[in-house]
A and B are shown apart, each in its own frame.
Chain A
């Protein structure tokens, strides 16, 4: 029986030939053994969470007034940070679903950690509408449920669309993530003993990699990827409609969905770089997270960053061309008014800072990759702040103009969100394989007797 052609990928690495057994060994090695650096990072995350939790407790006790809200600016850091984290949550499912359908081989090394980032970022984003609602115990009012008064949410409101979009995105991304984990959890089960073996045996659901299981698994995986693909593009479109459906100057724009989706992918890919570059060194994943992966991420950032720069330019052009004094006024105000510092940080971080990546030498330099990814993360938070705060602080009636700046409660909760996100990500990195074992093997040349005989 002749064998079909083997995968073209070379399996030789700097340290020799990569085998299926070596993949298991290398990827499972960092599990369960916390290093002092890891414990320090975990401690920092827990401290940030404690600060955020304390600030939230103060807000619950004293009311939303402590959050610096003052009419007409009733959306501030919470909604900014909500949009920021939803945006971060885009890259994981983009990499795992869309690039799967495109058969992009460079996704295999990075998709597991990116998916985990997505889940935890959406979990973080989900906190902010709850925080923003003030009376968080009534947040279930957002969802449609049968009730005595026959009251239903207004399905024509983009805020209700957002509830559906975010909860669907979280549910489907989480299912996709856990399905992807099943074969790898079985690998941990088979490599562990005692109680850990029992725990992972339960988590693997009894997976044994039988032909029956792989047959249905691969079909289901493809369908999940197909379902997730439009979902990735729709989520931030729906988030953008929270703004674009309003009549507020600076928000009411038809370009918002593609502009927001591009921005989300841009920030998500930058966050993947920010997380994976240290992970690569700390976990000794140099053979699995290579410069090849990082360079592709940088290229994706260049593409989406270019789209974003175009969107910034064209929205200013449309503001001028509309001949609407309110519309043009807000764009002039953003660039030259009290919030000009926010605007120019955004422009520098998102439009200028990534430009050195056009040079191969810079986009294949690990330090530059990391530094520029941080700039993009900062720039993308300021982009959302720029959109939200400036438009609300400078609405049509000059008598209501104000200047909103975040207070210590909001900044504490903002810091806490990073602690919450980092806590989950660090926990994941120690109990689950951060690189997809089975999929990495798919990219390797399979073990063949004919190869050994030829050698």
Chain B
């Protein structure tokens, strides 16, 4: 059974203060929901750590590029057209176009896969503690999970003191999805 505490904020500075104070108090498992990406939140939670999605893009681009060149070259080798003026079977300039297109295509599709994998999408009921229609409009949410009863009380006080407009102790899945 999950034990959590949730805070709803109408102001960004209050949310940032809450994250700061919770981190000072030693809480680490902080989750935030926001209607837009804000660098203040990103910097406080990830502290400059980059997303691993970049490796998906790089892998896809390398695979796509080499695959595209291989497709053009090997299929030309299977069906060699000996054209006049000594054109080679594997001709770099025209195959660069195919290589480039496949680099972008597979790089892009792998980026999409990476995004879905790391965002854990599609997942309709994941992180139910952060489900709140206000978070796609004009409020910010903060949740701490897996807390003991005393930690919940202490964290709830910090969140309230930072300026939360609402603090909920132990959000239930049924209540969140309803």
**Which stretch, B51-59, B147-155, B166-174, touches the partner chain A?**
B51-59
Which positions 208-243 of chain A face chain B at CB distance < 8 Å? 208-220, 223-224, 227-228, 230-231, 234, 238
B13 contacts which chain A residues (CB < 8 A)?
A: 3, 448-450
B125 on interface, CB distance cutoff 8 Å: yes
Kindly supply a per-residue 1/0 record for chain A positions 420-437, scoring 1 wherever the CB is within 8 Å of any chain B CB and 0 otherwise. 000000000000000001
Count B-side interface residues using an 8 Å CB cutoff: 74
B123 on interface, CB distance cutoff 8 Å: yes
| Highest count of chain B CB atoms <10 Å: which of A1, A160, A186 | A1
- Contact between B45 and A3 (Cβ–Cβ < 8 Å)? no
B62 on interface, CB distance cutoff 8 Å: no
Q: How far is the CA of A156 from the CA of B33 in the complex (A)?
A: 51
- Contact between A215 and B35 (Cβ–Cβ < 8 Å)? no
Q: How far is the CA of A415 from the CA of B121 in the complex (A)?
A: 41
Question: Which of A150, A205, A207 lies in contact with B79, CB distance below 8 A?
Answer: A150
B145 on interface, CB distance cutoff 8 Å: no
- A155 CB → nearest B CB, Å: 4
A43 on interface, CB distance cutoff 8 Å: no
- Contact between A164 and B12 (Cβ–Cβ < 8 Å)? no
A446 contacts which chain B residues (CB < 8 A)?
A: 12, 38
What total count of A-B pairs have CB within 8 Å?
A: 211
Q: How far is the CA of A210 from the CA of B32 in the complex (A)?
A: 5
A161 contacts which chain B residues (CB < 8 A)?
A: 94, 97-98, 101
B7 on interface, CB distance cutoff 8 Å: no
Which positions 131-176 of chain B face chain A at CB distance < 8 Å? 131, 133-138, 163
Q: How far is the CA of A238 from the CA of B114 in the complex (A)?
A: 29
Q: How far is the CA of A211 from the CA of B37 in the complex (A)?
A: 8
B135 contacts which chain A residues (CB < 8 A)?
A: 190, 208-209
Kindly supply a per-residue 1/0 record for chain A positions 228-271, scoring 1 wherever the CB is within 8 Å of any chain B CB and 0 otherwise. 10110010001000000000000000000000000000000000
- Contact between A212 and B119 (Cβ–Cβ < 8 Å)? yes
- Contact between B98 and A151 (Cβ–Cβ < 8 Å)? no
A154 contacts which chain B residues (CB < 8 A)?
A: 81
Q: How far is the CA of A218 from the CA of B14 in the complex (A)?
A: 23
Question: Which of B38, B75, B120 lies in contact with A152, CB distance below 8 A?
Answer: B75
- Contact between B104 and A172 (Cβ–Cβ < 8 Å)? yes
Q: How far is the CA of A450 from the CA of B114 in the complex (A)?
A: 38
A231 contacts which chain B residues (CB < 8 A)?
A: 104
A333 on interface, CB distance cutoff 8 Å: no
Query: Given A209-B34, A224-B111, A438-B36, do A234 and B100 touch, yes or no (CB 8 Å)?
Result: yes
B115 on interface, CB distance cutoff 8 Å: yes
A19 on interface, CB distance cutoff 8 Å: yes
Query: Given A155-B98, A175-B109, do A208 and B33 touch, yes or no (CB 8 Å)?
Result: yes
- Contact between A3 and B136 (Cβ–Cβ < 8 Å)? no
Q: How far is the CA of A348 from the CA of B97 in the complex (A)?
A: 35
B120 contacts which chain A residues (CB < 8 A)?
A: 212
B87 contacts which chain A residues (CB < 8 A)?
A: 156
A4 on interface, CB distance cutoff 8 Å: yes
Q: How far is the CA of A153 from the CA of B120 in the complex (A)?
A: 39
A71 on interface, CB distance cutoff 8 Å: no
Q: How far is the CA of A447 from the CA of B9 in the complex (A)?
A: 10
A24 on interface, CB distance cutoff 8 Å: yes
Kindly supply a per-residue 1/0 record for chain B positions 102-126, scoring 1 wherever the CB is within 8 Å of any chain A CB and 0 otherwise. 1011011101101110111111111
| Highest count of chain B CB atoms <10 Å: which of A189, A210, A224 | A210
- A167 CB → nearest B CB, Å: 8
| Highest count of chain A CB atoms <10 Å: which of B122, B130, B136 | B136
Which positions 1-41 of chain B face chain A at CB distance < 8 Å? 10-14, 16-17, 20-21, 31-41
Kindly supply a per-residue 1/0 record for chain A positions 182-210, scoring 1 wherever the CB is within 8 Å of any chain B CB and 0 otherwise. 01001101110000000001100111111
- Contact between B34 and A214 (Cβ–Cβ < 8 Å)? yes
| Highest count of chain B CB atoms <10 Å: which of A21, A156, A218, A452 | A156
- Contact between A24 and B76 (Cβ–Cβ < 8 Å)? no
Q: How far is the CA of A107 from the CA of B75 in the complex (A)?
A: 43
- Contact between B37 and A220 (Cβ–Cβ < 8 Å)? no
B79 contacts which chain A residues (CB < 8 A)?
A: 150-152
Q: How far is the CA of A187 from the CA of B36 in the complex (A)?
A: 11
A441 on interface, CB distance cutoff 8 Å: yes
B12 closest partner in A (C-beta): A446
Query: Given A155-B72, A191-B133, do A211 and B111 touch, yes or no (CB 8 Å)?
Result: no
B71 closest partner in A (C-beta): A144
- Contact between A175 and B112 (Cβ–Cβ < 8 Å)? yes
B78 contacts which chain A residues (CB < 8 A)?
A: 150, 152
Question: Which of A151, A219, A449 lies in contact with B14, CB distance below 8 A?
Answer: A449
- Contact between B31 and A210 (Cβ–Cβ < 8 Å)? yes
Question: Which of A150, A168, A190, A210 lies in contact with B105, CB distance below 8 A?
Answer: A168
- B173 CB → nearest A CB, Å: 14
Which positions 55-94 of chain B face chain A at CB distance < 8 Å? 57, 61, 71-72, 75-76, 78-79, 81, 87, 91, 94
Query: 14 A-B pairs, CB-CB below 8 angstroms?
Result: A3-B13, A171-B109, A186-B136, A190-B134, A191-B137, A212-B119, A215-B45, A220-B112, A227-B104, A230-B100, A234-B100, A442-B36, A446-B12, A447-B12
Given contacts A214-B37, A220-B112, A228-B108, 7 further A-B pairs with CB under 8 A are A20-B138, A165-B101, A207-B119, A208-B136, A209-B35, A220-B57, A220-B114
> Interface on A for B, CB 8 Å cutoff?
1, 3-4, 19-21, 24, 144, 150-156, 160-161, 164-165, 167-168, 171-172, 175-176, 179, 183, 186-187, 189-191, 201-202, 205-220, 223-224, 227-228, 230-231, 234, 238, 437-439, 441-442, 446-450, 452
